[in-house]
A and B are shown apart, each in its own frame.
Chain A
Amino acid sequence: MVDTGAASLTASEKAGLDKAGSDRIGVTRAWVPWAWSGFLIAMLAFLVLYPTSMLLIGALTTTNPVVEGYSLADISIGNFLAVVMNPNVAAALGNALIACAGGTAVAVAIGLAFAWVVVRTNTPCKGLIASAGMLPLFVPPLVAGVAWSILGSPKTGLLNLLLNKAGIPFRFDLYSMPGIIFVFGIYYAPYVYMFTAAALRNMDPALEEAAEISGASATRTMATVTFPLIMPAILSGMLLSFVVMLGIYGIPAVLGAPANISVLTTYIFALTAWSPPRYNTAAAVAVILMIVTGVLVYLQQKIVSGRSYTTVAGKAFRPRPLNLGKWRFLTLGLAILYLFVVVVLPTIALFIAAFRKFLFIKDIPALFEAKQYGWQHFIKMFDNPLTIASIINSIKVGIITAIVGGLLSFAIGYTITRTRAPGRRMIDVITTIPVAIPGLVIGVAYLWAWIGLPGGLYGTLWILALAFVARFIPDTVKALSTSLLQIHRELEEAAWICGRGTLSTIASIVLPLARPGVVAAMTLLFILSMRELGSSLFLYSSGTMVMAVQLLGYYEGGNIGITAAFSLVQMVLLGVLISFTNWLSRPGRGSGAIKPDIAPTGVVRSG
């Protein structure tokens, strides 16, 4: 499908190019841009519009697509409303909103404090703290959930074991709403941090100095100048982290299930796992999730596109860090405490669980008995042929996603930013639609789109890859557009003046300059698809098991040792890939080429 499309572009554009090239005064054929836009819109319709429409149909009908095929016979809003009225759905929605609101509140408290420490104080090693602070973004939510269940399960959690040995009667219970809120909050604080730190950095320090000169005290300055100015950024980071939490499956699945707390995402998956599967109800709940997400994303975009106070004067500011005196060691200590809780503790927990024969630990000395440790979980894990198969499948899906997604994103990005092709506004709009669709909903939509078509994509690796392309296309197109916008128009025009045609200019000027951005976008797509759980849940089959789902399988199978071992394997794989991306975009590489800055933007929505 994709290949034929790309070939048709090459053929048609080449035709125009050859003509212009051969007789110099040749007229560009008027139908070429139309054909090109038509091709892009058709691709997007196939990837985004068709599955979303099928999802809506699923939500409005009651026929089971597997048994009866698609039918519009009983289409009615009543079917959807019946689901909305269901008390279980209401409970899941309520729980989701409570968990995300609580998580967001924790994330704002931590993220704001972190931003202030890093940008506005002379805390030692703050550069290091800032980069370490981004690490939680790269931890897959399921891994985070598993690690915290090892640490904080009420009976066997390692933290509770320590408390017990220390004779403290208090126990942590992560299998609870506060537990979910806590884990959400600490893992998604970097979102709030990214937004507020950028706003603080871009704010003219003279705005605060002017308040000081006017006679305002430090607290008054903060309340009347600093806060109002960074408020849009805080709100924006809040809404974004709320939306991401709303779409997360791994954390509530692990921490909520034992306490019977279901949120929208876990409820949707449970519906499709019942027998017979409730595909229509799942579609309806997915639509609810999509509506809530859509409203929040709309609000966030409004705030972002509204007046941005922080860029009033367009110059680079010299930061004016507050001298904290000896208090700077307190701020350093707090930052280290956060990093310890969010990075070090879970890692230790995973290591212990992965290498210990039995997670039951009698006392503290038993924790250090060497004979208790070994590779047995890893050996058992690799004895299961599904493990290797899932890794290979994930790599295959990652490669397809990276290539298809990278090419399509470049084509769309170039068309939107550089051409006057007809319908490019429409292309732009369709491309941004998936921003408001959580991964899990994309999964349900693709399920609906293909499960009723025997011999179609369902059950192949392609359905996973295409769902991932659809899911991440807004991010990659945005990153590539930014990268393309940095290439001055005149560089391209100069090549045209030199007698080059459009394709030749793209190949000789635009691609080489944008190459780091394109490569980084593809690597990022690869990484994101390797760790994507939400949409995979509904699209894998026994032959196309992928890593994230296999990990969930191990967890639900109850073997915590293998689960931890596989988590570590995945973290190492991701770590290697991320270092590779950083290496690709390291400064000084590819002289003159546009430096990509997309790693954080891409991870932002994926959770």
Chain B
Amino acid sequence: MSSELRVEQLRKVFTTTTAQGSALKAAVDDVSFTIAAGEIVVLLGPSGCGKTTTLRCVAGLEHPTSGKIVIGGTVYTDPQAGVLVPPRNRNLGMVFQSYAVWPHMTVRQNVAYPLKSRGVKGAAQDNAVRDALDLVELSAYADRPVTQLSGGQMQRVALARSMVYQPQILLLDEPLSNLDAQLRLRLRDDLRRIIKRVGLTALYVTHDQTEAVVLGDRLGVMRDGKLLQLDTPSAIYNSPADLFVAGFTGATNVIEGRLVSRDGAFGVVAVASGEHVMARMGHDIAPGTPVRVALRPDNVALNPAGEGRNRFLGGVTSRHYQGTQTVYQVSVLGTAIEALEVGSAARYDENSQVTVGLPAEACWVYPADR
């Protein structure tokens, strides 16, 4: 039932009218990706980067400026060829950010609505509704008005409604963002389990990285309408394609320097203090170029045991105890970086001298001009 989704060079330009006049702005800029049948892909990016617009183009709710959307081998959107199948004929499911459950209907009426539109009647309709409500564990609430449900339950109604007719693809637009933190954690796991059990192809959009990692088979990181990197969560976290992806996924320490030499996968970077740092090279960069080295605070080791490379002398300038972890500001290599240590006991005082270990395989070199 579920199909492959192919998005090719999708572009959507909005005309925005401001006080200065109207301006053109590409909300989605040349985005291409493919989702295999039964796969969950999560688009991740800060607010306003074009995630919703991409999703709405796939749904047919937005008309892209150019590009192609192919679902299960059939072209659904191709403005150049004048193809634009309306949403109602796409057989897609969509969960909206505001849930968009119809407040004047009961849970059952909400879920049965798409079936009625498709002419599914009688026992077939009843069975499908029952199965869908079972799936989201809302059978006991079937005849309640939806306005009497909690946010989490409304979200489940929206999910049941979008899956009850076994759509080719399920689209989800930040479905958890209106829920409180606790519920969000629980539903996040439920959501993946439910989608996987049905075996749907899903495109999921969020700005929350932990949500993305848990839910997605693959993640795509977006910025300013562009898809920067689309890969497995582990690849995104361990070899971010550029400085933005690195920063967005938590590599917030950035050390400026100049590439001195490179040796296979690793390069040597001279930093402000004159010391040399070894780091992984993801890009082809010529020696002599200004570069930035990015690494995650939790990869910074303070007073590491044994001998090793990339060890530097530094000092703790401040410490922020956070209960189960401690964040230190460390002055090292002529700059300031953060180090994070897990554990409920803070090991170092302010102004203490420490050896700072920067594991070379966790440091990534990026060109400074990007």
Contacts and interface: CB of A to CB of B under 8 A. Distances in A.
B90 to A, nearest CB: 8
A209 B165 contact: no
B130 interface: no
A215 B96 contact: no
B93 interface: yes
Contacts of A204: 98, 100
Contacts of B113: 211, 214, 216, 224
B147 A215 contact: no
A207 B100 CA distance: 5
A213 interface: yes
B165 A210 contact: no
A318 to B, nearest CB: 10
Contacts of A338: none
A307 interface: yes
Contacts of B59: 209, 213
Nearest to A313: B98
B196 interface: no
B86 interface: yes
A214 B117 contact: yes
Contact of B61 (A207, A209, A225): A209
Interface string A213-250: 11111001000110011000000000000000000000
Interface string A363-399: 0000000000000000000000000000000000000
A362 interface: no
Given A214-B114, A214-B117, A229 B94 contact: no
Contact of B100 (A210, A217, A224): A210
Chain A contact surface mostly:
helix
B11 interface: no
A380 to B, nearest CB: 51
A206 B158 CA distance: 12
B368 to A, nearest CB: 38
A210 B114 CA distance: 9
B83 to A, nearest CB: 18
B161 A214 contact: yes
B118 A206 contact: no
A238 to B, nearest CB: 18
B117 A206 contact: no
A220 B117 contact: yes
Given A204-B98, A209-B96, A313-B98, A216 B117 contact: yes
Contact of B104 (A212, A216, A228): A228
A209 B158 CA distance: 13
A344 to B, nearest CB: 30
Interface size class of A (residues with CB under 8 A): 20 to 34
Interface in B101-141: 101-104, 113-114, 117-118
A209 B87 contact: yes
Interface in B68-112: 86-94, 96-104
Contacts of B102: 207, 210-211, 225, 229
Contact of A215 (B88, B103, B158, B178): B88
A312 interface: yes
Contact of B88 (A212, A225, A228): A212
A209 B55 CA distance: 13
B179 to A, nearest CB: 13
A315 interface: yes
Contacts of A307: 103, 147
Contacts of B96: 206, 209-210
A213 B147 contact: no
Contacts of B86: 212
A577 to B, nearest CB: 31
Interface in B175-214: 178
Contacts of A309: 103-104
Contacts of A225: 102
Contacts of A228: 104
Given A229-B104, A307-B103, A309-B104, A213 B98 contact: no
B46 to A, nearest CB: 18
A215 B101 CA distance: 15
A312 B97 CA distance: 13
B56 to A, nearest CB: 8
A75 B91 CA distance: 73
A206 B87 contact: no
Contact of A315 (B98, B103, B161): B98
Interface string B143-166: 000010000000000100110010
A322 to B, nearest CB: 13
A210 B103 contact: no
Nearest to B111: A214
Contacts of B87: 209, 212-213
A231 B359 CA distance: 65
B100 A209 contact: yes
B65 to A, nearest CB: 15
20 contacts: A209-B94, A209-B100, A210-B96, A210-B100, A210-B101, A210-B158, A212-B87, A212-B88, A213-B88, A213-B92, A213-B94, A213-B162, A214-B88, A214-B161, A215-B114, A216-B117, A229-B103, A312-B147, A313-B99, A313-B178
Given A204-B100, A213-B162, A216-B88, 8 more contacts: A206-B97, A207-B100, A210-B101, A210-B102, A210-B158, A210-B161, A211-B113, A214-B114
Q: Considering the complex of A and B, which 3 residue pairs feature the smallest CB-CB distances, nearest first?
A: A214-B114, A206-B100, A215-B117
Interface of B: 59, 61, 86-94, 96-104, 113-114, 117-118, 147, 158, 161-162, 165, 178
